[in-house]
């Protein structure tokens, strides 16, 4: 079964959408579009009546709603927020952030369909070592595989290729990278699917990710 991302071009590239019961890593540098992409994805589920949970360590509920309301295609968020779309803000000031915290939130809502965690890197700050962070990550990924579909957002150096190894990308079932490309006179936001277990796709093809006041969407044209 495939899960629609809300972006028809991306769904088509993946043979209908993201494979179900998969945990997909969405990585990218600052401003590359991770949060808005994930909001587009979670709203797609919310509109279908799916039970969704958006967990963020970056901004509170008002901040999430404000970001959506600045874009027409996401501006209906208030219809779902607090109903079938839970927005859970975990402030960085909380000293007890751990994998248990995520598990508590996830288990608080029975039978979730879609989950977003923005973002997993912040867990590293609360881990004693890289080893314990990786162990957390494995546990989170295993828990989320029980849901219909999940996205883990991950900060990466916009310039660094994922091929050079970023361990979050080995643990996830799929990896979508967002980055800025300097192909024309101004940098263009682009999207690249690095891996997607259980499905076939055309690798190493870059697509433009358009973010404007109207929507967040994949452009029809291939870039490279």
Ligand X SMILES: Nc1ncnc2c1ncn2[C@@H]1O[C@H](COP(=O)(O)OP(=O)(O)OP(=O)(O)O)[C@@H](O)[C@H]1O
The footprint of ligand X (CB under 6 A) covers: 28, 30-36, 58, 70-71, 155, 211-213
Out of 35, 38, 56, 166, which residue is the one contacting Mg ion (CB under 5 A)?
35
Q: Which is nearer to ligand X, 20 or 31 (CB)?
A: 31
Q: Which is nearer to ligand X, 35 or 149 (CB)?
A: 35
Q: Which is nearer to ligand X, 31 or 98 (CB)?
A: 31
* Residue 19 contacts which entry, Mg ion, ligand X, none (Cβ below 5-8 A, type-dependent): none
Q: Which is nearer to ligand X, 152 or 199 (CB)?
A: 152
Query: How far apart are CB 149 and Mg ion at their closest, in Å?
Result: 19
Q: Which is nearer to ligand X, 19 or 28 (CB)?
A: 28
Query: How far apart are CB 161 and Mg ion at their closest, in Å?
Result: 21
Burial string for 98-126 (b: 16+ CB within 10 Å, else e) reads bbebbeebbeeeeebbbbbbbbbbbbbeb
Chain CA centroid to CA 180, Å: 17
Q: How far apart are the C-alpha atoms of 224 and 211, rounded to whole Å?
A: 19
Q: How far apart are the C-alpha atoms of 224 and 208, rounded to whole Å?
A: 10
* DSSP category for residue 42: H
C-alpha distances (whole Å) from 14 to each of 54, 85, 97, 101, 196 are 23, 25, 34, 32, 8
């990924």: which residue's tokens? 141
Among candidate residues 54, 53, 43, the one with its CA nearest the CA of residue 4: 43
* Residue 64 contacts which entry, Mg ion, ligand X, none (Cβ below 5-8 A, type-dependent): none
Q: How far apart are the C-alpha atoms of 208 and 197, rounded to whole Å?
A: 23
Query: How far apart are CB 37 and ligand X at their closest, in Å?
Result: 6
Choices 27-35, 42-50, 123-131, 203-211 (CB under 5 A): range interacting with Mg ion = 27-35
Give the binding-site size for Mg ion (rule: CB under 5 A). 2
* Residue 188 contacts which entry, Mg ion, ligand X, none (Cβ below 5-8 A, type-dependent): none
Residue 84 near Mg ion by CB under 5 A: no
Q: How far apart are the C-alpha atoms of 187 and 98, rounded to whole Å?
A: 37
Which spans of this chain sit near Mg ion (rule: CB under 5 A)? 34-35
């Amino acid at each position: 079964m495939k899960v629609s991302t809300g972006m028809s071009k991306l769904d088509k590239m993946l043979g209908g959408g993201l494979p179900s019961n998969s945990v997909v890593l969405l990585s990218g540098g600052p401003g590359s579009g991770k949060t808005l992409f994930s909001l587009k994805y979670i709203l797609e589920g919310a509109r279908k009546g799916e039970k969704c949970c958006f967990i963020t360590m970056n901004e509170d509920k008002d901040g999430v709603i404000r970001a959506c309301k600045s874009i027409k295609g996401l501006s209906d968020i208030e219809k779902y927020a607090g109903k079938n779309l839970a927005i859970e803000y975990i402030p960085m000031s909380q000293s007890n952030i751990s994998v248990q915290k995520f598990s508590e939130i996830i288990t608080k809502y029975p039978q979730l369909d879609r989950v977003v965690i923005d973002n997993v890197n912040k867990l590293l700050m609360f881990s004693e070592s890289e080893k314990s962070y990786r162990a957390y990550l494995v546990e989170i990924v295993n828990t989320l595989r029980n849901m219909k579909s999940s996205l883990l957002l991950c900060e990466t150096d916009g310039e660094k290729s994922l091929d050079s190894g970023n361990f979050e990308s080995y643990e996830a079932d799929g990896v979508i990278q967002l980055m800025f490309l300097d192909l024309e006179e101004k940098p263009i936001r682009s999207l690249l699917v690095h891996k997607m277990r259980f499905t076939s796709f055309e690798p190493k093809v870059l697509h433009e990710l358009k973010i404007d006041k109207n929507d967040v969407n994949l452009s029809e044209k291939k870039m490279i």
